[in-house]
Structure 1
Amino acid sequence: MNKYYLKQSGRLLLPLAAAAALLAACGGSDSASTATSGSQTAVNYGSGSVFQVGTTSFDANLPAEPTLPADTAVCASLQASNNLVSRPDGSLPPEADPSKTGVSVAVDAATANPDQARIQAALDACGAAVDAEVGAKIAAADAAATAAQVAAAAKNVNIAGVSGEELAKPAYQASKYAVRLVVNASGPGNGFISGPLTLPSGVTLWIDKGVTLYASRDAKAYAPKVAGPYCANTAVSATKAGSSSNCLPLIGGTNMVNAAVMGDGRIDSRGYAEIVTTDKLYPLMKVDLTCSNTYTAYATGKQAADGVSCDNGGTVVDSKSSSRNMSWWDLAYLGNMVQNGATGTGSQSNFRMMVFNYAKNLTLYRISLHNSANFHVVPSGVDGLTVWGVKVQTPSLAAFANPAGNGNPLYTGAVFTEDNVKNTDAFDPGSAAKAIQDNLGTGSVSKSAAKMSFDGYLKNFVFAYNYVSTGDDDMAFKGSANPTPAGSGLFSIDGKRDVRADRKYGMIVAHNHIYWGHGISVGSETNAGVTNVEVYDNSFLHSEEGLRIKSDYARGGEVSNIHYNNICIKDAQNALLFTPYYSTKALPAAGPLFPNFHDITLDNVRIQGNSAVKLQGFQANTGGFSNPQYPLGMTLNNVVADEPDLISVISSDAALIIKGVNLPLTATVDNRNVLTGVPTKAVDPAKVLDCSRAYVDFPSIGASNFFGSSWDSNR
């Protein structure tokens, strides 16, 4: 704790710990008087007032909150089977979709995947009805906008067609557009088990309160083609790693307008559960690392002999193995933490919960998401992406109960933790690979008659009022694909591109509660650039990282004009982590790419408890390459730690402008740090951010985690 005071400009400055005690004694902190101004509630601290994180219920910077559909907007309601009843821990009992013992034994499709066909049929019928009612209007609006854009702008490198803002108007929404999953009206049934679903354009999948949509454990459902690509492995040959792109997502959609997944129910991908197959020849890996068959034999309809080398990441075929099959998280841990480190060719082929490509107006609202086998939500090239009031918690209590065929933890014997369920990112929004003109997807096998234009950019993104705790990135902007020609000077993610009239900014991350995970990130895919992002009024409790920008010279790219404001971070391993040295991936064939982070601003950030801070730019002539220095250009205003002596700092190649900062930052020649301004352990209490109401328990969602029904904000 600091032992001294500093007096400047006639004002007494106190160490933050002392200031907090004084404020509490004088009515500050939790007992402070409050004053409401507009949509925000501030706490009065004598001569000044500061923002109180976590109390804003209305924000004029944001568009209107989404709403659930009216009952009259429902195309179809599907009732859960009384054979599927969630246990109090959120899992299904083993008898709901039982495994079968032995090698090369198929499970019954009737229990492994009972609901996919009827849910998809309802979605397809609703999609066809929506297209019949408003498809022509949407196509006409797009054709007119596209023609005008082509005629007016020779320099327009990407034709966007009709805007999502225009398509949000009632004229383009059908009278009936929702498929609703509900509890059984005459019994206890409240669960659905489904393989991959296609969300049609214009349709909302509404999962009602008390309902859980469980992912099927059938690996074959996510890799239906006999000739591949193959799902549920860590490799597809001796030299080629697995990939999530080998698997269909649980919910997917392409070329969509006005689609949504919402409701007060849950989706559980059951990454913890033993993988099974409805095809006895489909190769699965066992926890003893043997396999049941090879892909080579499977493709010809044969069973490989014992002792033949596996081609799915396992060792050898063993028909006599009594070990259980791997779970999805077993594969993720094996591929990422074991095989990738040893051979460089390991990575899991696990299905993602949701993947959406090319959309205008895509909404996730109030739904709870759990236990994805890989990333939870991956939306690319969306104009009007709204994630509002969503809860993500992985692993949930169901993962610890884990009754679906094994009742075991990881194949290593380790109990699940928030950090060993690998690659379970919550939200990874980004740009798409290119601009396209294509037909809207109106069903799983149907498309609209007319084509729509999509420019491939991520635009008008709102991430607000969410609660997230997962085993990897909580939210990460991915600037990995560039839908514009090289040299155009455009960023793949730009918060000033086509900002709608109903919001102030084009990229907003606000009013969220983040728990375990890698925080709010940019990257590591930054090669196409990320700029003009607003991140404000967010809290981080017990997170691995808080605020992070990450890249490396396998990716490169420019990240600029990222503004963080009113951020509370408590007991994070790394409160601030800005580094261009994220990984050691192989360099592109054309040579290294150099990350460039600049014009990054942190205003009003408070760090509580032990933590680390890393502020790094890219050093000149790094790694044997001849390259200029790209210093981290950052401004820090009122960035304070309650106990700065507990904050460890690593900083290099950084040009920092600081004011009201008590972090132990220093200007050093050896590390090429340049500071404008002087850090001090004493701070102005009138400017200290109020975090007294920032940290809350994870909301009760029926089943939560190993430690109880909710996260304890005081643990």
Structure 2
Amino acid sequence: MSILRCHLKVIIAGMLAVLVSAFSVTALAHDSPDLPEPVLPAHICARLVPRQVYSSGDDTQRLQSAIDNCPQGEALQLLAGRFSSGPLTMKSGVTLWISHGALLAANTDPRIYDENGHCGTLDHKGNGCRPFILFKNTDGGGIVGEGVIDGQGGKLMKGEDESWWQLARRAQTEGAAQNVPRLIEIDDGSNIIFHGITLRNSPGFHVTLKNARGATFWGVRIDTPANARNTDGIDPISSQNILIAHSFIRTGDDNVAIKAGAGGPTRHVLLVDNHFYWGHGMSIGSETVGGVSNIRVRGLTLDGTTSGLRIKSDISRGGIVSDIRYEDVCMRGNRRPLDFDTRYDVHASGSNIPVYRDISLSHIAGETGQLVLRGYDAAHTLHFALDGVYFSNAARWLIESAQLLIGPGGVSPVPPGEASLQRSSAPADCAKNWIPFPVTDAP
């Protein structure tokens, strides 16, 4: 064919070395058979209890003062009850410990998050609010505990007749950008730990990491309605050495979105034994111009996400996405269980052509839906290795400008134009992997 619309090549022998590669221990020390669970801080600098009667109804000043005066290596502990606060800035080496039964609620007044006079309004940039909790140039510390941080995205903004989420939905209909605060933002931080905490109802993204160097999310729960627009779960951007393990995420946008903008590449990201529910799936992109590489996803369930495993970009923001491994993934109730597309925005313009290569899927099981592998053109094809990838016969392939290597475990349904293979392994038994979302009690 003069134009490579759908080029499929089957290689039976010698695929296991391609399909399964070790994650460099020097690149990410977390990658071992027995990942070490983070431990809670040994020293507590202060314990705060909720105020029962106070004039302002706001704990911002005393929380920020306690953080600022907490020595590095120690934790500020919030005991059971409700705390209400405006924006907080974390200090290097200090951990915020939110105990079981404690709730930290974000104030709904747009004015206290304001950066440029636009917070709580629409414009064409959407960068008018500071986050609720900010880690900036910090090393160490984090947020732990079995309590809850609630962004109150569904509550009316103070002094307004709509909520943060309603503002975001209105922005969509009016072709504008909403100015809403993110729940947690890490800027140029390193060695941050999140353990056991529940994050819910963020006005915007729940956790954004920009130029982070080392962060662990262990046993984290992110819980926000499916119709809450642009409420991504965890977004590493131009960051490296990130671990997301044993966590549960349901939200109104990408459950996880790994991105790389002009700030640099994202690499060495490991996801192990996580469960995703409603949301847009396990995503890479759409910003990939900085390059995304060395990503490992293993032991993941995607239960009702719209897309399952997804890489999305376009010529306005594309870059090289390479050395990506997906292993032991179970999916059900997905419209696009596989969604690897270089034309995320069909109206995009630019010269940053997305390139996806050295990507492997092994021991993947799902149901019906569309299986999309769409490269950009004959000169920029997708390079995928598939081994033991099984969907129902009702699933349908959409393959363009792609080169596939199929391993001994086979692929079902068989991609178009290829003969059936005698597979050497059975589809994964996913029944034992489905578990309900573990809801956290909170005051």
TM-score, with normalisation over the residues of structure 2? 0.89
**Structure 1 residue 663: Cα displacement:** 2.0
1:460 corresponds to:
241
2:67 corresponds to:
123
1:67 corresponds to:
39
Paired amino acid for 2:138: M
**Structure 1 residue 593: Cα displacement:** 1.2
1:260 corresponds to:
142
How much identity, in percent, do the aligned residues show? 34
* Larger CA Rg, structure 1 vs 2: 1
Match of 2:186 among 341, 356, 359: 356
1:692 corresponds to:
431
Contact persistence 1:62–1:462 (CA under 8 A):
no
Contact persistence 1:246–1:349 (CA under 8 A):
yes
Q: What do the CA deviations read for 1:290-340 (whole angstroms, capped 9, x no partner)?
A: xxxxxxxxxxxxxxxxxxxxxxxxxxxxxxxxxxx111001110102x011
Match of 2:399 among 627, 634, 651: 651
Which one has the bigger helix percentage?
A: 1
Show the 5 A alignment for 1:213-252: 213-223=104-114, 228-235=116-123, 241-243=124-126, 245-252=127-134
Which one has the bigger strand percentage?
A: 2
1:170 corresponds to:
none
Contact persistence 2:183–2:207 (CA under 8 A):
yes
2:345 matched to 1:583? yes
- C-alpha separation in 2, matches of 1:82 and 1:679: 69
Contact persistence 1:658–1:679 (CA under 8 A):
no
- C-alpha separation in 2, matches of 1:661 and 1:586: 33
- C-alpha separation in 1, matches of 2:100 and 2:428: 37
SS of equivalent residue, structure 1 residue 428: strand
Contact persistence 1:233–1:242 (CA under 8 A):
no
- C-alpha separation in 2, matches of 1:422 and 1:375: 9
SS of equivalent residue, structure 2 residue 61: helix
Contact persistence 1:423–1:472 (CA under 8 A):
yes
2:80 matched to 1:110? no
Residues 229, 638 of structure 1: alpha-carbon distance in 2 compared, 3 angstrom cutoff = same
Residues 364, 548 of structure 1: alpha-carbon distance in 2 compared, 3 angstrom cutoff = same
Contact persistence 1:357–1:380 (CA under 8 A):
yes
Show the 5 A alignment for 1:230-629: 230-235=118-123, 241-243=124-126, 245-277=127-159, 284=160, 325-336=161-172, 338-340=173-175, 346-395=176-225, 418=226, 420-431=227-238, 458-483=239-264, 492-495=265-268, 507-584=269-346, 587=349, 591-608=350-367, 610-620=368-378, 629=379
- C-alpha separation in 2, matches of 1:385 and 1:231: 28
| Runs of 5+ consecutive residues of structure 1 not aligned to the other structure | 1-57, 85-108, 131-173, 184-189, 236-240, 278-283, 285-324, 341-345, 396-417, 432-457, 484-491, 496-506, 621-628, 668-676, 705-715
**Structure 1 residue 583: Cα displacement:** 1.4
**Structure 1 residue 689: Cα displacement:** 1.5
| Runs of 5+ consecutive residues of structure 2 not aligned to the other structure | 1-29
**Structure 1 residue 83: Cα displacement:** 5.8
**How many positions carry a matched residue from both structures?**
413
**Structure 1 residue 586: Cα displacement:** 5.1
Match of 2:96 among 198, 201, 205: 205
Paired amino acid for 1:614: V
Q: What do the CA deviations read for 1:524-574 (whole angstroms, capped 9, x no partner)?
A: 010011111111111111111110001000011000110111111112121
**Structure 1 residue 60: Cα displacement:** 3.4
Paired amino acid for 2:91: P
Residues 533, 62 of structure 1: alpha-carbon distance in 2 compared, 3 angstrom cutoff = farther
| RMSD (Å), alpha carbons | 2.1
**Structure 1 residue 242: Cα displacement:** 4.4
Contact persistence 2:242–2:270 (CA under 8 A):
yes
Paired amino acid for 1:328: W
Residues 178, 375 of structure 1: alpha-carbon distance in 2 compared, 3 angstrom cutoff = same
- C-alpha separation in 1, matches of 2:235 and 2:151: 17
1:437 corresponds to:
none
* Deviation beyond 3 Å, 4+ runs, structure 1: 58-63, 584-587, 677-680
SS of equivalent residue, structure 1 residue 511: strand
1:5 corresponds to:
none
TM-score, with normalisation over the residues of structure 1? 0.56
